[in-house]
Amino acid sequence: MDSFEWNKIAGAVLGTLILVLVVKFASEAIFDVPKPAKPGYVVEGVTEEVAASSTAAPAEEALPDFGTELPKADAAAGQKVSQRCEQCHDISKGGPDKIGPNLWGIVGRARASRASFSYSSAMMSSHAPWTFEALFRYLKSPQAVVPGTKMSFAGLRSAQDRLNLLAWLRTQSDAPVPIPPPAAKAPAAPAAAAPKKT
């Protein structure tokens, strides 16, 4: 191979390289779109999760079946849990209001109904009865359920603690609210409910 041949090869290689670079630059210039600040597409579920975790309210917790869980709950353990409430609440019959209102008969009692106690306007915004459900949710996170309440208590994370406490609080009443019947088991119900004609 003479030097002319080598020059042709070198030229071809160089030419190819240059062509590749030109194409690369050109395509970048044409196709390089700046990234948008927000993705233009929404992946369902993902964004919901992000939205839920960024707000103050915790994700909704599934309610237990009180008819099944309350009879199994440990009221004695619940009485121990209630000592944390007693920093601020007297639970005894005829007892005084303290930092918080007296809680005798609280299960089933109308919300913010103690005339002797000066409730926050947040608490006064409803007088719906304190059902098992309402208390179960409220005691997990008072501020999330009644935003602006002056009950400065972080809440009881453990569902079992709350069930035990409710089993105890229910008994601290002149007329304990009855425990609801257990939810019917879906597959068993129709057979039991429809007696066969004889």
User: Which residues lie below 8 Å from residue 194, measured CB to CB, with a gap of 6+?
Assistant: none
Measured from the CB atom, the residue of 101 and 163 that comes closer to ligand HEC is 101
* CB of 152 vs ligand HEC, minimal distance in Å: 5
Chain residues that interact with ligand HEC, rule: CB under 6 A: 84-85, 87-89, 99-101, 103, 106, 111-114, 119-120, 122-123, 130, 139, 149-153, 156
Alpha-carbon Rg of the chain, whole angstroms? 34
Contact criterion met (CB below 8 Å) for 34 and 148: no
* CB of 176 vs ligand HEC, minimal distance in Å: 16
* CA angle (15, 16, 18) in 5-degree steps: 65
* CB of 114 vs ligand HEC, minimal distance in Å: 5
Sign of the CA dihedral with 102 first, then 103, 108, and 110 last = positive
Measured from the CB atom, the residue of 20 and 99 that comes closer to ligand HEC is 99
Output the six-digit token pair for 34: 């700046």
Alpha carbon distance, N-terminus to C-terminus of the chain: 109
Measured from the CB atom, the residue of 3 and 157 that comes closer to ligand HEC is 157
Contact criterion met (CB below 8 Å) for 80 and 195: no
Measured from the CB atom, the residue of 154 and 191 that comes closer to ligand HEC is 154
* CB of 190 vs ligand HEC, minimal distance in Å: 39
* CB of 116 vs ligand HEC, minimal distance in Å: 10
The distance of Cα 145 from the centroid of its chain, to the nearest Å, equals 10
Measured from the CB atom, the residue of 1 and 175 that comes closer to ligand HEC is 175
For residue 23, the tally of other CB atoms under 10 A from its CB is: 10
* CB of 42 vs ligand HEC, minimal distance in Å: 38
Measured from the CB atom, the residue of 27 and 87 that comes closer to ligand HEC is 87
For residue 48, the tally of other CB atoms under 10 A from its CB is: 12
